[in-house]
Amino acid sequence: MTKPIDLLQGTLDMLILKAVSLGPLHGYGVLLRIQQISRDRLEIQQGSLYPALYRLEHQGWIASEWGESENKRKAKYYRLTAAGKRRFQTETDKWNRMADVIAGILSTTPEEV
Amino acid sequence: MTRWSRLGSWLRTILQRSRMENEMDAELRFHVEARADDLVRSGVTRQDALRRARLEFGGIERAKEECRDARGTSFIETLLQDIRFASRILRKSPGFTAVAVLTLAVGIGASAAVFSLVNAILLRPLPYPDSGRIVLPELISPPGVNLGSEYIPWGQLQFRMLTRDAHPFQTVSAFQNDSFNMTGAGEPTFLDGFRASQEFFSSLGVSPALGRAFTAEEDQPGQEYEVIISDRLWRERFGADRNILGRAVELNGYAYSVVGVMPAGFAFPRAEEMPSSFNFPEEPQLWVPLAIAAEPKPGPSELALIGRLTPGVTIQQAQAAMDLITKHAEEQDHRWTGWFNTRVVPLQRQVVGDTRRPLQLMLGAVCIVLLIACSNVANLLLTRALARRREFTLRAALGAGRARLIRQLLTESLLIAVGAGAVGILIAHAGIYFVKTLGPSNIPRLREVTLDLPVLAFALGVSLATGMLFGLAPAIGAARENLVDSLKEGSQKSGGSRISPRLRNALLVSQVALALVLVVSAGLLTRTLFQLLGADGGFNAERVLTFQLPLPTLKYADQDHIVTLFQNVLERLRAMPGVQSAGIGETVPLGGEGESTVIRTPDHPAASQKEMPFANFTIISPGYFSAIGTPLLRGRDFQETDTKDSMPVAIVNVAMERKFWAREGALGKQVGPGSTRYPLLTIVGVVPDVKHASLREETAPEMYVLYNQKPWPSMLNMRVALRTKAAPAGVTESVREAVHAIDPDLPLAKVATLATLVDDSMSQPRFSVLLLGSFGVLALLLAAIGMYGVISYSVLQRTQEIGIRMALGAQRHKVFRMVLGQGARLAAMGIAIGLVAALGVTRLMARFLFGVRPTDPLTFAGVSLLLLGIALLACYLPARRAMRVDPMVALKYE
């Protein structure tokens, strides 16, 4: 297994939005989901997850409500709001364009300049 | 928003905050436990799993803090944070905090106390239902006729004419004061009371707490032997007996039965609530029916009226209706012309009466104190903000928003104001207590005064506004400033302070000016008091005992009987070893207004009956003048040889002699009561003017007649004056015994030394002096604090400059003088402005003054010097500090 890499600045929000876009999740669930999708290649500071969740909720991208977890415990579930969906879309587009550009730049060979 | 809903939203915010905290705790706990569950499933022990889950999570508290930040902080939280920070800052400079809080507290406390007085006395409606409709229909003297008083009493006939005409009142009642000698139940007691017609209580809208009011049947001659007593009398005399109704009591020898007890606190009308010329008792204890005949005979009587306006009728309409009644009366009989003029006065205005002006004086004084306090605090805050400029620029540089900085300053001002408010409440309470206990007894409604919350809120608001205004100005300036420059330059000489000294100096100058106005006013009143103390009242108050000897009407019906009684009393009193002289008179000096009546003077016959002159008409006995210490100026005193069979004689005062016989002198001239039924009297003596109600009064012409020469009015309420050999208090008991030896049913009322009467008459001016004097001292103190603050700050600011001056060879005493000079210049400006303002203000005080002009140069000069001296004293410490500046330290300082 390769050593997990640290998150790029500002990408955690996007990952959270992606995670909850697949269905409502509690905080720990978000963590598990991201690790699962990334196949454990990303290292997420558990302590920084919650401030991000609170920030996204404060901005209105996600909403929360209390529900019951799989092992019968009270847990706070987050889901994507309509505004969050739009936001996620634009963020994804932006990220993809950016990644293309960066990848293009990085893959440039001396001959191409 | 109502108070409750605002409280509700505040509570919700608080509750929400704790709910959010709880939820956050639960969420994070869930996370850790869920992770631990997973670890347990992978084979770790429960305990280990929890520990590892926590370790993986990292700092929980830090995460929470970040969550709170992410969520956005609530208003309350920031406020609490601000308050914590502000109180830390304030605690760090206890001197500043104490002075600011105390200064504001004094301002708030004093003004809250005075506004409470004003509110209770002038503004709050009277304690009667729908009191706006209660009026006093007053009868006023014909224009151009001087009766010594504006009011003339209503006659019984006039009252009947009024009630039979179309009058504007729902109910209207006539009443008249009377004294009642209550006998047959222990010690005979002399009680003040009123005879009132049937609608008296319904006009006021008050019913007895026990029993009932009078019926129309009881308000008829021969049926009037029913009495309603006050709550106080009921408690003190009858032990609050609830079975008192129907009980018989003996008043002036007649049997009355008690039909009602008034509610506690009811005592209408009190003397202080009515025109002083009525000479009403201080606090009536009982009421009996007036019982006017259906067809009363014309003739003098002493009625006052009270009415409740018909709903919807305004004062103007009531006045118009009364004017119509006047017109009807004049058409009916031309003799009424001029003698039936009425004026409808709202009871509220009458009650407030003469108190309005002293209260306005107090209000003015306290406003000045509040202004000085506010400007003082403003100055303190400005100075302090200047000193803290570097702190603010630094904080702005570190990223504090302007709004945040302003909020911080606001919170500090708020804290100061709240602290001042708390101390101010205490001061206000103390002030009200002080006024209630030391204030003159003739302030109406004083017992209703309580500390008013709205008033307190007002004072607090004013101080808050001051704090905000002057606390904010520098904050806005600081936030706007170029950060780099300020930080580089240092706080002491940066450019922004160029404006502030001018503002601070202006504030200081206005403080000095305001203080001068207040202290000059207090000074004028003080001089007035001293003038009054030295004023000649026409008598000598040393070792004189006075008391009233009210006689029961039934027992002393004829005059001969009364004369004999007085002769016996005087004989017995004069025989007492401690008594030097004794006399009886209708009045005693400063014991109240005397009776005034129409007189005739054959030397100066009046052109018509309407123009007949008036004079005070006082019945006395021989020995009266020597008892009260009034010297005879010319002629002789009354003697025992003047009897009812000898030549009728009179003594007049100087004012009377001057008015009628200025050139030829009064001795030997003839004078008599207006009615020719009474014989003319020959003037045998002239005495100085004796003051009746106050030492400052303009004495009216007065004539004295002998009690045993068939004088005209009744002698049922005479006063006795005794000049004693030792302190008069020692003889009181033996005097009482001597009187009771003659008639055990005779009560002694209003026993007081003449000195006490003089003292009482002085209570109002003394109180004004005390009040204005304490406000003046406060103003001086505050101005001195302000001066000290401004000068010492300026010394601090100029430390470097002073250091350079000294390094260049300036003498220490020159530096000292320079600083003093700066203070003196400011003080002189304040004094100059204050003098001009004081000239304007003291003119309004003319009626409070006696024997001193409103522009008294002595007071003005003295107070100016006093203020200058205090200003210099306040500059002395900072000037000394400036003188001791070490040039080396000062230059290194930056």
| CA-based nearest distance A76→chain B, Å | 6
Under the banding of pLDDT at 50, 70 and 90, the label for residue B653 is very high
- Residue B511 identity (one-letter amino acid): Q
Distance CA B478, CA B500 (A): 12
Give the Å distances, CA to CA, from B139 to B353, B600, B785: 17, 24, 55
Residues of A in contact with B62 (CB under 8 A): 47
| B102-129 tens-digit pLDDT | 888 888 888 888 888 888 888 778 888 8
B497: pLDDT strictly greater than 60:
no
pLDDT of residue B1: 45
> Which residue has 């009200």 as its token pair?
B432
| CA-based nearest distance B33→chain A, Å | 10
pTM: 0.68
Task: Check whether the bond before B269 is cis (ω within 30° of 0).
Answer: yes
Residue A78 domain boundaries: 5-112
B34 with A73: Cβ contact below 8 A: yes
Question: Hey, what are A62's tokens?
Answer: 């996600």
| B600-616 tens-digit pLDDT | 888 877 776 667 788 88
CB B699 within 8 A of CB B653: yes
pLDDT of residue B495: 42
CB B290 within 8 A of CB B196: yes
* Domain count across chain A: 1
pLDDT of residue B883: 84
User: In this predicted structure, which of B208-217, B396-405, B661-670 has the lowest mean pLDDT?
Assistant: B396-405
Q: Domain holding A51: CATH number? A: 1.10.10.10
pLDDT of residue B491: 44
Q: Is B27 in CB contact (< 8 Å) with chain A?
A: yes
DSSP letter at B303 equals: B
Question: Hey, what are B878's tokens?
Answer: 């900072």
B30 with A27: Cβ contact below 8 A: yes
Our measurement of the distance from residue B818's CA atom to the centroid of its chain's CA atoms, rounded to an integer in Å, reads 45
| CA-based nearest distance B61→chain A, Å | 10
Residues B320-343: what's their mean pLDDT? 86
Closest CB from A27, A54, A66 relative to B71: A54
Residues of A in contact with B57 (CB under 8 A): 46-47
| B835-848 tens-digit pLDDT | 999 999 888 888 78
- Kindly identify which residue of chain B lies nearest to residue A71, measuring between CA atoms: B34
CB A65 within 8 A of CB A19: no
Closest CB from B31, B58, B66 relative to A28: B31
Compute chain A's Rg from CA coordinates. 17
User: In this predicted structure, which of A43-47, B71-75, B342-346, B576-580 has the lowest mean pLDDT?
Assistant: B71-75
Residues B495-520: what's their mean pLDDT? 79
Distance CA B283, CA B388 (A): 61
- Kindly identify which residue of chain A lies nearest to residue B60, measuring between CA atoms: A47
Give the Å distances, CA to CA, from B334 to B320, B331, B835: 20, 6, 57
B279: pLDDT strictly greater than 90:
no
Three-state DSSP class for A2?
Answer: coil
| CA-based nearest distance A19→chain B, Å | 16
User: In this predicted structure, which of B183-187, B544-548, B597-601 has the lowest mean pLDDT?
Assistant: B183-187
pLDDT of residue B171: 93
Question: Hey, what are B825's tokens?
Answer: 């210049």
Q: What is the interface size between A and B, counted as CB pairs within 8 Å?
A: 66
Question: Hey, what are B324's tokens?
Answer: 């119509």
Q: Is A74 in CB contact (< 8 Å) with chain B?
A: yes
Residues B653-666: what's their mean pLDDT? 91
Q: Is A72 in CB contact (< 8 Å) with chain B?
A: no
Q: Is A48 in CB contact (< 8 Å) with chain B?
A: yes
| B353-382 tens-digit pLDDT | 767 777 888 888 888 888 888 888 888 877
Under the banding of pLDDT at 50, 70 and 90, the label for residue B492 is very low
Best mutation target among B39, B62, B66 (most A Cβ atoms within 10 Å) is B66
Question: To the nearest whole percent, how much of chain B has pLDDT over 70?
Answer: 90
Sequence-distant (≥ 6) Cβ neighbours of residue B555 within 8 angstroms? B253, B561, B743, B745
Q: Is A11 in CB contact (< 8 Å) with chain B?
A: no
CB B426 within 8 A of CB B487: no
pLDDT of residue B178: 85
- Kindly identify which residue of chain A lies nearest to residue B63, measuring between CA atoms: A47
SS (H, E, C) B88-128: HHHHHCHHHHHHHHHHHHHHHHHHHHHHHHHHHHHHCCCCC
B599: pLDDT strictly greater than 60:
yes
CA distance from start to end of chain B? 53
Q: Is B406 in CB contact (< 8 Å) with chain A?
A: no
CB B674 within 8 A of CB B599: yes
Residues of A in contact with B34 (CB under 8 A): 26, 28, 69, 71, 73, 75
A51 with B66: Cβ contact below 8 A: yes
Under the banding of pLDDT at 50, 70 and 90, the label for residue B483 is low
Give the Å distances, CA to CA, from B791 to B145, B531, B868: 62, 39, 14
Sequence-distant (≥ 6) Cβ neighbours of residue B744 within 8 angstroms? B188
Compute chain B's Rg from CA coordinates. 38
Sequence-distant (≥ 6) Cβ neighbours of residue B568 within 8 angstroms? B742
Residues of B in contact with A74 (CB under 8 A): 26, 30
Q: Is the ipTM of this complex over 0.90?
A: no
Best mutation target among B20, B27, B56, B61 (most A Cβ atoms within 10 Å) is B27
Best mutation target among B29, B31, B37 (most A Cβ atoms within 10 Å) is B31
pLDDT of residue B585: 93
Question: H or E stretch including B180?
Answer: strand B169-183
B56 with A46: Cβ contact below 8 A: yes
- Comparison of pLDDT for B39 and B337, the residue scoring more: B39
DSSP letter at B765 equals: H
CB A76 within 8 A of CB A64: yes
B476: pLDDT strictly greater than 70:
no
Question: To the nearest whole percent, how much of chain B has pLDDT over 90?
Answer: 23
Cβ–Cβ contacts within 10 Å for residue B793, how many?
21
Give the Å distances, CA to CA, from B607 to B601, B604, B614, B616, B642: 12, 9, 14, 21, 33
Q: Which residues of B643-663 are buried (b: 16+ CB within 10 A; e: fewer)?
A: eeeeebbbbbbbbbbebbbee
CB B678 within 8 A of CB B712: yes
| A65-86 tens-digit pLDDT | 888 888 788 889 999 999 999 9
B56 with A26: Cβ contact below 8 A: no
Q: Which of B281, B268, B303, B257 is nearest to B179 (CA)?
A: B281
Residues of A in contact with B63 (CB under 8 A): 47-48, 50-51
- Comparison of pLDDT for B11 and B517, the residue scoring more: B517
Question: H or E stretch including B846?
Answer: none
- Give the orientation angle of helix A27-37 with respect to helix A11-21, to 10 degrees: 100
Q: Is A63 in CB contact (< 8 Å) with chain B?
A: no
CB B764 within 8 A of CB B440: yes
Q: Which residues of B48-73 are buried (b: 16+ CB within 10 A; e: fewer)?
A: ebbeebeeebeebeebbebbbebeee
A51 with B72: Cβ contact below 8 A: no
